[in-house]
Structure 1
Amino acid sequence: MYVLVMRHGEAGWHSIDQERELTEAGRKGCALVARQIARSPWRPREIWSSPLVRARQTAAIVSEILNCRVAEKPFLTPDDDPGLCLDSLLEEPPASRLMIVSHMPLVGALSTLLVDGHRHGIPFMTSQAVALDMPVVGPGCADLKAQFLP
Structure 2
Amino acid sequence: MQRLLIMRHGEAAPGFPDNARRLTPRGMQEADTMARWLAQRVAKGELLMPSLYASPYVRAQQTAQALSDALGIGHETLDFITPDDAPAAISDWLLEQEDGAPIMLVSHMPLVGNLTSWLVEGSYAQGVGFPTAAIVELKAEIWAAGCAQLMSFTQPSQLASG
Q: CA deviation at 1:91?
A: 2.1
How many angstroms apart in 1 are the aligned matches of 2:137 and 2:82?
20
Question: Could you tell me how far apart the structure 1 residues matched to 2:152 and 2:59 are?
Answer: 24
Q: Out of 122, 129, 132, which is 1:126 matched to?
A: 132
3-state secondary structure, aligned to 2:120: helix
- The separation in 2 between residues aligned to 1:119 and 1:42, in whole angstroms, is 27
> Which amino acid in structure 2 is aligned with residue 68 of structure 1?
I
Asked if residue 51 in structure 1 is aligned to residue 56 in structure 2, the reply is: yes
Q: For the residues of structure 1 that align with 2:77 and 2:54, how far apart are their CA atoms?
A: 5
Match of 1:111 in 2: 116
Number of the residue aligned with 2:35:
34
CA contact (8 A) 1:42 1:131 kept: no
5 Å matches for 1:1-150?
Answer: 1-40=2-41, 41-93=46-98, 95-120=100-125, 121-150=127-156
Q: Identity of paired residues, percent? A: 39
CA drift of 1:16 comes to: 1.8
**Number of equivalenced pairs:** 150
Q: Which amino acid aligns with 2:40?
A: R
Q: Give the Cα–Cα distance (whole angstroms) in 1 for the partners of residues 20 and 5 of structure 2.
A: 24
Q: Distance in 1 between matches of 2:86 and 2:117?
A: 12
Provide, for residues 115-147 of structure 1, a one-character-per-residue CA deviation record: whole Å limited to 9, x for no partner. Answer: 111112111011111111122221111111112
Matched residues in 1 for 2:7 and 2:74: separation? 16
Partner Cα separation in structure 2 for residue 94 and residue 23 of structure 1: 36
Query: Per-residue deviation at 1:106?
Result: 0.1
- Unaligned 5+ segments in structure 2 are 157-162
- Return the alpha-carbon distance in structure 1 between the equivalents of residues 87 and 139 of structure 2: 17
Closer/same/farther in 2, CA of residues 149 and 101 from structure 1, 3 Å limit: same
The amino acid that maps onto 1:87 is D
Supply the AA of the counterpart residue of 1:123. G
AA aligned to 2:124 is R
1:31 Cα offset (Å): 1.0
CA contact (8 A) 1:10 1:25 kept: yes
User: Runs of 5+ in structure 1 lacking a partner?
Assistant: none
